Amino acid sequence: WTGPPSLEFMFAEASALELRWSIDELPTDLVINFELEMADPSEGRFVLIYTGPAVDQRVEHLACGPDYMFRVRALTSQHVSNFSNVLTLRACAAPQAPARLRPCLESSGAGPLALAWDPPSDSGGCPIKEYIVLEDTPNGTVQLAVTRDEKFVPEPQA
């Protein structure tokens, strides 16, 4: 193969992360193993957490919230690759739903009715980056907007 493995994030839970990696070309005549290393936020140095032929790994027993750094490299009996780029990730659970959904009027007092809400009391250990506003209709659920604010103001109808 010609370069280091490519490391990617698959999903996160409150105390676990799933990672996957690949190399650009798999030599058919060599047995390839991988070494996955993690830097714990309290230690700051990389430690080996997995060695083997698998191309994915579930990393468990993580604290919810701190950043963890990961890197991987490929090994054969004849060659050791460079480490992949470092991937910095955080274990998070799904946040609770926003609280106190309520209608509100815009300052002008005219136009469509807006919605406001309070942020969830438990964010799952990670910052809330955006809210997705959905509407239930007789034909199914419709996405109205994606917003970073705790407010949704619909566009006025022409």
- Select from 14, 18, 125 the least CA-distant residue to 70: 18
Residues in the chain, pLDDT under 70: 1-2, 25-29, 31, 106-112, 156-158
pLDDT at 91: 79
The pLDDT tens digits for 95-112 are 889 999 998 876 665 566
**Model confidence pTM above 0.85:** no
Which residue matches tokens 């080996």?
Answer: 48
pLDDT at 25: 67
On whether the CB atoms of residues 104 and 112 are closer than 8 A, the answer is: no
